[in-house]
Amino acid sequence: MSQPDLDAWRTQVRQWLTTVLEPARETEATGDLAVFHNLPEDEERLLLERCRVYQRARFDAGYQALTLPGDKGGAGLTAAHVAAFAQEEAAFEVPPSTELISVTVRLVAMSVSLFGTAEQRDEYARAFLRTDLLACQLFSEPGAGSDLAALRTRARREGEDWVIDGQKVWTSGAQFADFGLLLARTDPDVVKQAGITAFLVPMDASGVEVRPIRQMSGGASFNEVFLSGVRVPDRLRIGRPGQGWEVASTTLAFERTASGSGNRRKGGTFPDVLALARSLERTGDPLVRQQLADLYVRTALRAATVDRVARASAAGDRPGPEASLTKLMASDLLSRTGQVAAELMGARISADTGEPGTFAWTQHLLGAPGYRLAGGTDQIQRNLIGERVLKLPPEPRVDRVPFSQLPGN
């Protein structure tokens, strides 16, 4: 299929955006410095609805899943079109996204589109892309975080159903989700990566219990999810039995790309730090100017890397280990941003004196360490970059035996 002319398409996008969004206001510091949402449930629901209105309009106009092939429900365009859309969108007031919206549209919808049956794509992938249905990600477990393949949630076949027992943790938005993309061990007698299967689990199914986790920053945007005898029909299996690790690897690559380049604001940014330095009259200090310059350069480098990775991706290709670069740079930038802000404020950050833009930075400082874990730890990202991008020798592995033979099983 021939691709539309990029300049003409860009003009078309700009014209459409003017019909659904207001022009962006001049960049200024904001009071929202939280890395993860800390909203009461009613406010979180209102934010979700604002996001869904825009996502539905974008889907209906044909601007959702731009690089996904047409036969998979996408637009079949190139990475250059994605970059052009993002550039045009940046000139407008886009509703701030949430982790659940990002997981639904950019992770679960894409995985169901790539690995699901035609019926699953028609019934679920389309609904996820349009956010008619919301989906969370049921991957991590108390004993399977960075080593996700060590997961212990089990699924056993009973007739046309699978019966699932286990526990998941750090699940963003589970309390609002309609479905969860879940990984479960279906064959313990093969190596751990080979015995995993993916399922779509209705979050209102009997035996599913969601418990919020209170964060040290005050919010509860993450959850534990307990599954006790949950029956899931085989028609909700995504991919072949035992193909779950491939589904997971693809989904995690999408997650790293989303984490590194999503439009959802995460914590404080360089303009916020610059505004803080000006308000404290510190911009004349040569050491502060050096810190600000370093932060600005790193911000620009991350943006350029995100753009380069996007342009290097062929239309419809699954994201590769290069996505780890953008994720690693994003988490590093968050940490450095908080460090510079804390050094500027000194004791002002430790108590709420009512002074604008000071104590609010605690939301950033308390949330930034968690971003080094979300979507794969920094150490895991470096391993991926070293082994799959730089082609360095892999670390020794001692777990290439059937999962049932590993210690603790």
Residues recognised as catalytic: 255
Q: Could you tell me which residues come within 8 angstroms of residue 265 by beta carbon, excluding any fewer than 6 positions away?
A: 30, 32, 96
Q: Note whether 197 and 125 are within 8 A (CB).
A: no
Instruction: Tell me which residue of 30, 349, 44 sits closest to 219, measured CA to CA.
Output: 44
Q: Note whether 251 and 107 are within 8 A (CB).
A: yes
How many H helices and E strands in the chain? 13, 8
Alpha carbon distance 271, 391 (integer Å): 37
Query: Cα 385 vs. chain centroid, distance in angstroms?
Result: 19
Alpha carbon distance 374, 348 (integer Å): 29
Tokens found for residue 391: 């082609």
Q: Note whether 279 and 346 are within 8 A (CB).
A: no
Q: Could you tell me which residues come within 8 angstroms of residue 276 by beta carbon, excluding any fewer than 6 positions away?
A: 29, 341, 344, 345, 357, 358, 361
Alpha carbon distance 69, 72 (integer Å): 5
Tokens found for residue 366: 């308390």
Q: What are the two backbone dihedrals, phi and then psi, of residue 277, each rounded to the nearest 5 degrees?
A: -60, -40
DSSP H or E stretch at residue 241: none
DSSP H or E stretch at residue 103: none
